[in-house]
Structure 1
Amino acid sequence: MFGLNQQYEDFYKEVFEKYSQFIFSHIISKVGKRVDALDIAQNVFVHLWQYRKDLKFKNVEAILLKSCRQEIFKFYKDQIGKGISVSIDGLGIEIEDHSELDLEEKLEKERKLNAIYEALNLIPIERKKIFLLNKIEGKTRKEIAMELNMSKSAIGNQIDKTMQFLIGKLRR
C-alpha cells in the first residue's frame, strides 16, 4: 500500500512543479495582488492534494483551471461578504474554443457577466449578501431567513428587489 501512496505523492509533486507557476500567473492576472494570488494558489493545490488519487485518469489542466476559477470566485464572494468593493477587471470568461461563432457567444456572455458584476457592486451590501446566498450558494429563502434572523418574506423582498434592479440595469 505504501508504494501506491508514494506514486500519488510523486504524481502530485510532478503536477505541482509543472503547473504551479502557470496557476499563480493565471490567478494573479485575475486578482491583482500577489498575497491574494498566493493564498488562492495554495487553496487550489490543497484541493488538488485532496483529490490526487483521482487525477491520473483525468485532464489535470482542466481540473486545475476549474479549481482556480472556483477559488477565485470564493475569494471575491468573501470580499463582497466583508463589504469590500470588488473590481471585476480581469474576471473575464476564458475563451478556449476559437471558432468565430463560439467566440462571439463567449464574448457576449462575458459582457453580460461583467454587467451583472458591475450592477451587483451598486447594490447595498446586505441585499447583495442575501442575493448571493440564494443565487450562488443555492440556499433557500427559508435557510437564509434563519441564518440572518429575518423573516422569509423580508428575504424574498430583498431577492426580488435585487432581481428587478439587475433586470432594469441589464436592459439599458
Structure 2
Amino acid sequence: MTRKEYNKTVDMYSGRLFGYVLKCLQNSEDASDIVQDVFERLWNHRKNVEVEKAKTWLYTTAHNALINFAKKKARMDLYGDNLPERSQETESRFEMKEIVDMVIDTLPPLQKSILLLRDLEGYHYDEIGEMLSISDSQVKVYLFRARRKIKQQLKEFTVLYDVSEQGKY
C-alpha cells in the first residue's frame, strides 16, 4: 500500500469506522483513540495489507481493539480503578434511543459487533464474517441471538415501565 492509497483509505473509512467504534463504546474520546490506533497499525503494516482488503483489515483490527479495551476496563474495575459509569438510576421516561442503547450495551462483544455492523453499518453477512473471522452461518446465528435478546429485554422493560407508571396515577 502506497502513501497515496493509505490516505485514500483513511478518507474512505475513517468516518464509518469511528461511528462503529463510538456506537460500541459510547465514549467519543476512547473511540477516537482506538480509531487512531487502528490507522496507525495500518500504516505500520501497510506493506502487508492489500488495498482491496483494507476495509476488512480495519474492521477486524478495530473489533480486536474493542475486545482488548473491554478486557482492560474489566481488569481496572476489578482493582478499584473504576471508570465513570452510567448512573443506575433511571428517570421515569426515557427516549427509545437511550433504552435501545442500554440494551445493546448488555450484549456480549461479538454479538454487539455483529449487530452494529449489520444493522447500523449495513454490511452483508459474508463481509461481517470476513471481518470477524467467522463463517456466514455463525454471523446469522449471533445476529439472531442478539436480536432475540434485545427483543426480550425490551419486552421486560416495557412491562416494568407499565407497572411503574400505573403507580403514579
Under a length normalisation based on structure 1, what TM-score does the superposition of the two structures give? 0.51
Alpha-carbon deviation of 1:29? 0.5
Give the equivalent residue in structure 2 for 1:61: 55
State the alpha-carbon separation in 2 of the partners of residues 57 and 25 from structure 1: 21
Give the equivalent residue in structure 1 for 2:12: 18
Give the equivalent residue in structure 2 for 1:82: 76
Structure 2 CA distance for partners of 1:64 and 1:45, relative to 1, 3 Å:
same
Within a 5 Å distance, the mapping from 1:32-51 to structure 2 comes to: 32-51=26-45
- Which of 106, 111, 136 lines up with 2:142 in the alignment? 106
Give the equivalent residue in structure 2 for 1:97: 125
* 5+ long unaligned stretches in structure 1: 1-6, 115-172
Please tell me whether the aligned partners of residues 5 and 51 of structure 2 are also in contact (alpha carbons under 8 angstroms).
no
Q: Which letter maps to 1:64? A: L
Alpha-carbon deviation of 1:110? 4.4
**Bigger Cα Rg:** 1
Structure 2 CA distance for partners of 1:51 and 1:109, relative to 1, 3 Å:
farther
Equivalent pairs counted in the alignment come to 106
Alpha-carbon deviation of 1:93? 3.8
Under a length normalisation based on structure 2, what TM-score does the superposition of the two structures give? 0.52
State the alpha-carbon separation in 1 of the partners of residues 30 and 51 from structure 2: 31
Please tell me whether the aligned partners of residues 22 and 31 of structure 2 are also in contact (alpha carbons under 8 angstroms).
yes
* 5+ long unaligned stretches in structure 2: 86-101, 119-123, 127-135, 151-169
Q: Higher RCO, 1 or 2 (CA under 8 Å, sep at least 6)?
A: 2
Alpha-carbon deviation of 1:107? 2.9
